[in-house]
Amino acid sequence: MIQVELLKQLITELDDLSFSKLRDWFVEYEQSRWDKKIEADSNSGKLNFLIHAALTEHKTGITRDL
């Protein structure tokens, strides 16, 4: 927990430009982690239920053309 507290303190001391750069980096980093998680879940079959649900809805006529 000390590391998190240290990071918080250091972040509060950043000037506006540095804070903006950190924020942009963090958003990109978070999105990259999310993409990797989704890819891993997809590759492991954890998301197959979504495919099956969509196919079932399509076969029963619940879906519509875009």
Average pLDDT on 47-63 reads 94
The burial class, CB within 10 Å (0-12 / 13-18 / 19+), for 57 is exposed
What is the pLDDT confidence band of residue 65, given thresholds at 50, 70 and 90? confident
- Give the integer Cα–Cα distance in Å for 44 and 35: 14
| Annotated domain spans of the chain | 15-66
Helix (H/G/I), strand (E/B), else coil: 14? coil
Residue 36 contacts residue 42 (beta carbons within 8 Å): no
- Give the integer Cα–Cα distance in Å for 1 and 7: 10
What is the pLDDT confidence band of residue 28, given thresholds at 50, 70 and 90? very high
